[in-house]
Amino acid sequence: YVFSARISRLKGGGRKKDAPFISSQVIGDLQYILGINAGSVWGITGGRWRLGARAAVATIMSSIGGGATSIVISFYKTKKLQVNLLINGILSSIVSITGLLNVLFSFFNNDRNLALCAVSRPWHALIIGSVSAAFSISVLPLLDRWQIDDPVGVVPIHLTSSIWGMIAVGIFCER
């Protein structure tokens, strides 16, 4: 049964199982999102290539911030590196910076057709990714306590990171 409930996991008798080949999925997602973020400037003429380059740098810096934060939290909580926390931290940081970049690129200037907010600065992206990873990892124990089975991490990665990404627009957006 591919789509059956994992009742034994919630009753305490089962072991939590992560999705297979998750590390290759992270690499694929990073490449995919990097292409989306850098390509969301709709061209390279008229100076838009600079925005694409800044978007790529912001995406990479955010994933570095999220990965570093998740490593620190993992070592603090368990005294060893937990790969699932690292993956959650990286993916949540990418989701949060993507939300920020897509909102910023949706506003166009009439005279030059460029984004009003020139993406986010690299240190902004580090902070956005770090906070997103911390939020994502802090939601995991709540899901276990409330007995919500989320085998692929939709709630901690996409819900909390999307909300933080929208808040980050208001905090880090420059005119």
Query: Quick one: pLDDT at residue 135?
Result: 95
Query: Quick one: pLDDT at residue 136?
Result: 94
Tokens of 67: 């990965």
The average confidence (pLDDT) of the chain is: 76
Query: Quick one: pLDDT at residue 106?
Result: 54
Phi, psi of 115 (to 5 degrees): -65, 140
Among 7-21, 91-105, 149-163, the range scoring the smallest mean pLDDT is 7-21
Query: Quick one: pLDDT at residue 111?
Result: 36
Q: Is 107 left (phi over 0), alpha (psi -120 to 50) or beta?
A: beta
Q: 57 with 64: CB under 8 angstroms? A: no
How many CB atoms sit inside 10 A of residue 81's CB? 11
At 145, the amino acid letter reads R
Query: Quick one: pLDDT at residue 116?
Result: 29
* Predicted confidence band of residue 28 (pLDDT cuts 50, 70, 90): confident
Query: Quick one: pLDDT at residue 167?
Result: 87
Query: Quick one: pLDDT at residue 78?
Result: 92
CA-angle at 57, arms to 55 and 61, nearest 5°? 120
Q: 153 with 133: CB under 8 angstroms? A: no
* Predicted confidence band of residue 11 (pLDDT cuts 50, 70, 90): low
Query: Quick one: pLDDT at residue 149?
Result: 78
DSSP E strand boundaries for the chain = none
How many CB atoms sit inside 10 A of residue 108's CB? 11
Q: What is the DSSP letter of 17?
A: -
Q: 156 with 84: CB under 8 angstroms? A: no
Considering only CA atoms, which of 70, 56, 75 is closest in space to residue 161?
70
Tokens 């061209």 — which residue?
A: 43
Entry pTM: 0.78
Instruction: Write the pLDDT tens digit of every residue in 39-86.
Output: 766 667 777 777 778 888 888 899 999 999 999 999 999 999 998 899
Instruction: Write the pLDDT tens digit of every residue in 127-158.
Output: 999 999 999 999 988 988 888 877 777 888 88
Query: Quick one: pLDDT at residue 12?
Result: 58
